[in-house]
Chain A
Amino acid sequence: MATSAAGAPAISRITSGAVADLAAGAALLGSGGGGTTRTSAAMLRAELGDGRSVPLVSLSSLDDSAELVCVGAVGSPVAINERPPHGDEFSAAIECLARHRGRQPEAVVPLEIGGLNALMAVMAASRSGLPLVDADAMGRAFPHMTQTTLSAARIPAAPAAVVSSVTSSVISTADDSRLDDLVCSSLKTLGGWCAVAAYPETASGYRGAIVDGSIGTALQLGSGFRAAAGDPTARADFLLSHQGVLLGSGTVLEAVRNDLGGRPRGAITLNDREDPQRTLRLVTSDEYVCVLDDGRLVAASPQPICVLDRTTWHPISATALRVRQQVDIVAFPASPAWPRFHPSVGLPSYGLRPIMGAL
């Protein structure tokens, strides 16, 4: 995947005109999860109406001592769609954490570039009046708030501020997984989702521990994807220019879904359009976890994996894929910010046994 330059971002401000590209790119990077971007894109377009915009800054342009904070929504995408945020939850979470630490952040970092959280981060920056850093902490979408390159680099997620319609509180714990457990177990009480501000750290601490340039990447990806979706002849060039790979093109033969440890699990079997004996298998959870081609692993988390309707190239989420759908399976390279074989994003993080000789 072509990442934007680590230096200055390609654009300096995010306006309503960039929302469509950002939403399309975020949908691809959602890897079949992260929630639909349609509602959040509409909200952001309204937020950036009347010529309003959000400054986009590169991490390298910030002072070493500049305080940064990651922002995103945690919880069920269905709940977020049913009870959409009004936008102030994110700025309230940033403010809550700032009060707790006694330091005001100087910029906002998206917690997750995949799915609706890419757009919610812009919303948070807009409402809090802070610039948005061209980066994110995941490089795609993941089900847990601490499955981040920051946690992999041992930057603590806590203290973290949690804001919902019913509460506004700060959680302090030395253990990232405990923070994730606390937030997840409270979601039902919080109304299904909450706004989170976490990973308070200086810009120098973030450097080298974050997926740099991911907003720019999402914008470029989204722009190219929108053009390619409408023009099938441009699809190969689009993939080539973003280091994407068409893993297979076929029809869904079987979709088995169940539950493992409270998380959804799925095994989707497809044949290949040109070689019907060839078998493609998608292992799914909240997102697409890995792809097997006749028993060989050809893509796996943290790579962004997308399943696209073959005709429209509309992204299909992991929970919406159905038998007889004709699809293309596409994968992009994992962010280099992720250490190779890191356990927090591999198959074991989804409760699955690892595959020998995994990518």
Chain B
Amino acid sequence: MKQPPVTVRDLLSSGVLPGTRVVAGDAGLDRLVAEIVASEINTGVPAADTLTIAEVAGPGSIRESLHNIDTMLRRAADAGAAALILCQLPAEALPLSPVRIANRYRVPLVAAPTHHSIDLAYRLKLALHHADVHAADKLCTLVDRIPRNASLGTVVSVLADSLDATAAALTPQGIVMAGQRPAVKLDIDWHRPVPVAEVTGTGAYAARPLLNPDGNLAFWILAHHPLGGVAWRDLAARVLHLAEAFAAKWWASEKVTAEREARYRSRLLGEVLAQGPELPRRTAELADRIGWNITGWNTGVHFLRLSDETQDTASASALDQALLAAGLTLGPVIEQPDGWATWVSAGRPGQDTTTLTEAVTYALRTYTAQPGTIPVAAGIGTSASGPAGLASSLNAARRAALAAAVGGTAGSVQHVDLLGTDELLRMASTSLADSGLLAPLLASPHGATLLKTVEAFLDFGTLRAAQRLHLSRNTVTTHINRASRVLGVNLGDPDQRLLVHLACRAHRAPGEQS
């Protein structure tokens, strides 16, 4: 089979020249190569269209031969040679003159400090004359080097090594999941899951999307080579196709594990929040086993999602990292229906409200600055003791997050202690019905009955509410206590009582009588 024409660029990006550098003569990278020749630096006679490989050090010192590089380059230019590769020569050892000559005559000059000419010539000959064998070798090497159950990091690392390129796994939002983002901007529509491979002015790249079982885009794997040409692009597309299977396997496994862990944590937090001050022994053991500290003084932090996007692990991970970077040692970031929840535990009461608010604000600024993250607002609850305190603090935090979200600005943070009447009234006037304040109550068992009791209690007081609802006073009191716990509010507090009262009114259908 006739081989396609091979350029200097193709050979330099073929992966057989790791650690080499094009020192000069970039304008000649698209010259065609007909043959590979290894020769002596001072006696070699390059021929037309040959890529000449010369050993600079040889039996003597590099300094004995530096002037021979100029003459060899000129002979190469006069003969119409394709390129000159200098072995055993650190690029920084080159004086200015060969760089200028290579640029003037457009002869690519490549420094290969760790290679030997004969070995390099053999490998380049294989890449030149047997491109299919070379490509097959790359694919086989990739399969051999990726272990079973490889992580995404391993897959991307092997990918980078195989293609001698920059490789990465990126979310559709551009967040790096593994590897290193290419230094140049790639012209890819990240939300259109179609494999792409292009040669551009800044090299060549290939990218493949990985899809979730539901057909939605999960993430991309990609590679970029600054010297890549058509041959590299085609090889990269094939290598990425193969690597996709390994990445997809990792993704499926990761997703199952993540969902299982998230479900487990959410369920455990639900159990903790549903209990009273004393946790059942089994729940306490489970919480302790996964490292949750909930017996001290807890301050809840709630991150409320501001968009309808599905929560993803990348955003959770980005949030986790932003909190760590802000110096916050919080508990686990646990997925909630409307966002994420976490808390700070301390051995004694008196959490510094201002410091915590500033730290969370800083963390959210970092998080929001990352492209593609889900926009959130945060609320911080009041410090309270034990599991029951955690429950009330998290509920308060959620309420504060709702207040912070009213403005609709991503990254807003509100501490519940700082919520004033004005804030509450502003919330009420904005859209209390959509605020979700009553959502936990409505979602709980017998939520509608409890809501009706709360409304009557707030409108008429305990005695008249019992009369109107045909309940005993004790039942009304029990309903109010349970509703307060579910909502995480203290109806004895005038501000909170007013907020719930307004929310009940807003929730009520127009024209409906109390």
Contacts and interface: CB of A to CB of B under 8 A. Distances in A.
Given A294-B74, A295-B74, A296-B74, A283 B42 contact: no
Interface string B95-115: 111101100110000000000
Interface string A236-258: 00000000000000000110101
A262 to B, nearest CB: 12
B interface, over-half SS: helix
A277 to B, nearest CB: 5
B104 A279 contact: yes
A174 interface: no
A292 interface: yes
B97 A290 contact: no
Given A254-B95, A277-B104, A354-B42, A292 B67 contact: yes
Contacts of B105: 294
A256 B43 contact: no
Contacts of B101: 279, 294-295
Interface in A117-133: none
A352 B64 contact: yes
5 contacts: A254-B97, A281-B95, A292-B70, A295-B71, A295-B73
Interface string B59-75: 01101111110111111
B77 interface: yes
Contacts of B60: 353
Contact of A260 (B61, B74, B77, B104): B61
A253 B63 CA distance: 19
A254 B97 CA distance: 9
Given A254-B95, A260-B64, A267-B95, A296 B71 contact: yes
Nearest to A358: B71
B185 to A, nearest CB: 32
Contact of A256 (B41, B95, B100, B104): B95
B65 A297 contact: no
A268 to B, nearest CB: 9
Interface of A: 253-254, 256, 258, 260, 265, 267, 269, 271, 277-279, 281, 283, 290, 292, 294-297, 347, 351-356
Interface of B: 41-43, 45, 60-61, 63-68, 70-75, 77, 95-98, 100-101, 104-105
Given A279-B104, A356-B42, 10 more contacts: A265-B63, A271-B100, A277-B104, A279-B70, A279-B100, A294-B104, A295-B70, A353-B65, A355-B67, A355-B71
Contacts of B63: 258, 260, 265
Contact of A292 (B42, B45, B61, B71): B71
Contact of B96 (A269, A290, A295): A269
Given A265-B63, A277-B104, A294-B104, A356 B43 contact: yes
Contacts of B41: 353
B190 to A, nearest CB: 43
B42 A355 contact: yes
A351 B67 CA distance: 12
A226 B54 CA distance: 46
A269 B104 CA distance: 15
B80 to A, nearest CB: 15
A290 B67 contact: yes
Contacts of A277: 100, 104
B97 A292 contact: yes
Nearest to A355: B71
* Closest 5 pairs (CB-CB, A-B): A295-B74, A281-B97, A254-B96, A295-B70, A269-B96
Contacts of B68: 353, 355
Contacts of B95: 254, 256, 267, 269, 281
Nearest to B67: A283
Contact of A267 (B72, B73, B74, B97): B97
Contacts of A281: 67, 70, 95, 97
B323 to A, nearest CB: 52
Contacts of A290: 67
Contacts of A258: 63
Contacts of B96: 253-254, 269, 279
B492 to A, nearest CB: 83
A113 to B, nearest CB: 26
With most chain B CB atoms within 10 A of its CB, the pick from A265, A269, A271, A297 is: A269
A258 B64 CA distance: 11
Nearest to B66: A267
A260 B62 CA distance: 10
Contacts of B97: 254, 267, 269, 279, 281, 292
A292 B43 CA distance: 16
Nearest to A297: B71
With most chain B CB atoms within 10 A of its CB, the pick from A254, A267, A290, A296 is: A267
Nearest to A350: B64
B349 to A, nearest CB: 70
